[in-house]
Amino acid sequence: MSVFSPFSSLISRRHTRPVLAALSIVGLVTVAGCSSLASDKEEGPQTTVSNCRHEVTVDSPPQRVMTMGAESITTLAHLGQLDRVVSRAGVYPSEYFDAQTMEQINQIPALTDRVNATGHLQISVEEVLAQNPDLVLGATETVNYQTLHPRGVPVIDEPAYCDGIDGPTTWDNVWDQVNLYGTVFAAQDRAKEYVEELKTRVEQVKKQAEGQVKSVAVVYPELGGGVLYAYGSRSMSNPMVEAAGLSNVFDSTDDRVFEVNPEEVVSRNPDVIIALYTSGSADDVVRDVTERSGFGDVAAVKGGRVMPMLLNFAEPATPLSVDGVEKIDAYLRDHR
């Protein structure tokens, strides 16, 4: 899903896929043979991967890929596979990508960026099938494994949106995402190199953060003074702030994201607040946090350390999380 409402899916998992969906470690198995998913397609090299509790068989590598959001783009670009994307739906904010990648994205035909009031991408199965994809990356409430698999179209959802992970999220979940796409696109060597590059970048942040003792709260405020959400140990933001030398004041909460009473944030008095957002501007989200009742007494607000950050830099677990932790590190060095 390309545009999200990270707070409304307390009712439905698909309403806040980047925020509330539990993460799944991806098992990868490469095989050759005939696909049972699309009997009318010409037989050739194929790969089967385990994704969101399904065994998904795809052409290896796929030739006509459709993306349903921005989450896979950074990995595809680094693996040299973005030219296989022939259509896209959803929103692809330029802040997430370098100029070359954004130029490639703009050359891919866009079907729609239409969303409803809760942030769901509005696209039909028929619109997707009309593109004749041999792989769909991402899913919506209507376009997913359950609706496309019977029609012979393989779907791979972001690993971070799968149910069933036990325990805290770690950086391994980022490496798993890269390796998944490396297997699907027969680019395992590039994936391995990219993972090593990402690991080096994270280790550099950890080294620069040695001796950091500040506490942090990672929140998602509903703009206009609405519901406030906080992130616990099962969110990708948790290992990110730890790598930056911070202590998450909600790391003992065994949830990915949860509604929090503003008084609870005030009582924990974090030195830094990272405010995630998907709509509005950076100034809007900082203003919303700082103007909430009681927040004027919080150390982060008094010290001018409320950091706005676009959601996908923190959630879900993708290489954008490495960009995100570097942004946190740079922010902290500028706001000592």
Kindly report, residue by residue over 172-210, the tens digit of the pLDDT.
Answer: 999 999 999 999 999 999 999 999 999 999 999 999 998
Using alpha carbons, select from 120, 121, 119 the residue that is nearest to residue 111. Answer: 121
Element (H, E) at 48: strand 46-51
Cis ω on the peptide bond leading into residue 316 (within 30° of 0)? yes
In a domain, 325, yes or no: yes
Highest mean pLDDT among 3-12, 157-166, 188-197, 307-316: 188-197
In a domain, 2, yes or no: no
**pTM as predicted:** 0.84
Report residue 158 as tokens: 């972001």
The per-residue pLDDT for 114 is 86
Is the same domain home to 46 and 99? yes
Q: Which residues contact 10 (CB under 8 A, 6 or more apart)?
A: 16, 20, 259
Which CATH number do you get for residue 74? Answer: 3.40.50.1980
pLDDT band (50, 70, 90) for residue 55 = very high
pLDDT band (50, 70, 90) for residue 168 = confident
In a domain, 30, yes or no: yes
Higher pLDDT, 316 or 38: 316
Q: Which residues contact 193 (CB under 8 A, 6 or more apart)?
A: none
The per-residue pLDDT for 274 is 98
- Upper half-sphere CA count for residue 175 (Cβ side, 13 Å): 13
Distance between CA atoms of 38 and 133, rounded to whole angstroms? 12
Please write the tens of the pLDDT for every residue from 233-291: 989 999 999 999 999 999 998 888 899 999 999 999 999 999 999 888 999 999 999 99
Using alpha carbons, select from 68, 60, 178 the residue that is nearest to residue 128. Answer: 68
Please write the tens of the pLDDT for every residue from 69-96: 899 999 999 999 999 999 999 989 999 9
Is the same domain home to 164 and 241? no
Is the same domain home to 168 and 291? no
Please write the tens of the pLDDT for every residue from 122-148: 999 999 999 999 999 999 889 999 999
Is the same domain home to 143 and 73? yes
In a domain, 321, yes or no: yes
Whole domain around residue 302: which residue ranges? 209-334
By the 10 Å C-beta count (0-12 exposed, 13-18 middle, 19+ buried), 142 is classed as middle
Q: How many distinct structural domains can be found in the chain?
A: 2
In a domain, 306, yes or no: yes
Is the same domain home to 253 and 154? no
Is the same domain home to 160 and 300? no
Q: Calculate mean pLDDT across residues 14-40.
A: 37
The per-residue pLDDT for 66 is 97
Is the same domain home to 160 and 18? yes
28: pLDDT strictly greater than 50: no
Distance between CA atoms of 152 and 81, rounded to whole angstroms? 22
Is the same domain home to 246 and 327? yes
In a domain, 314, yes or no: yes
Is the same domain home to 223 and 186? no
The per-residue pLDDT for 21 is 35
Using alpha carbons, select from 233, 312, 297 the residue that is nearest to residue 262. Answer: 297
To the nearest whole number, what is the mean pLDDT of the chain?
86
Is the same domain home to 132 and 237? no
